[in-house]
Amino acid sequence: MWLLFAFIAVPMIEIALFIQVGGFIGVWWTLLIVLLTAIAGSYLVRNQGLREIGNLQRSFSELQDPTEPLAHGAMILFAGALLLTPGFFTDVVGLSLLVPAVRHKAFIWAKSKVKVQRFEMGESPAQRPQPTGDRVIDGDFEDVTPQKSRNDGPSEWTRD
């Protein structure tokens, strides 16, 4: 139900803001602002996205929980989609998601709403191979040693 409300309310808010801002500063200035926010937003999304990818790689290499960098990356991606969508309301929400403190608060809020049952890093005991009593390894092989052909020696036209 909330999603339906958002799909109806957001375009109506955007239309109302376009009418108000366009009437106040003019159509061309309004379009210029929308274009500039899309360009600036894509630049900011790229820079912050690369930074978050570095944080994600660092969390993997240090064997830490990658949940927060993944969530920040998803919020940056969502912010980029909002900034590329024409409108003032979506631009404000998108720009606010590019502020690390806002993303952190949103992550804390979302984390409080999600109940994690289990989290493991590495192999679980069920996935580890169990040792067996015999050490016989069955396999097939094929000899791939190159065979000498008749043409490998000196030519018959010359004498040694």
pLDDT tens readout for residues 97-137? 999 999 999 999 998 988 877 766 666 666 666 666 667 77
pTM: 0.66
pLDDT tens readout for residues 15-74? 999 899 889 999 899 989 988 988 988 898 999 999 999 989 998 888 888 888 999 999
Candidates 36, 24, 159; CA nearest to 86 is 36
CB atoms < 10 A from the CB of 91, how many? 24
Show me where the domains of the chain are located.
9-113
d(CA 41, CA 28): 20
Q: Give the C-alpha distances (Å, rounded to integers) separating 108 from 79, 97, 103, 121, 142.
A: 18, 14, 9, 22, 59
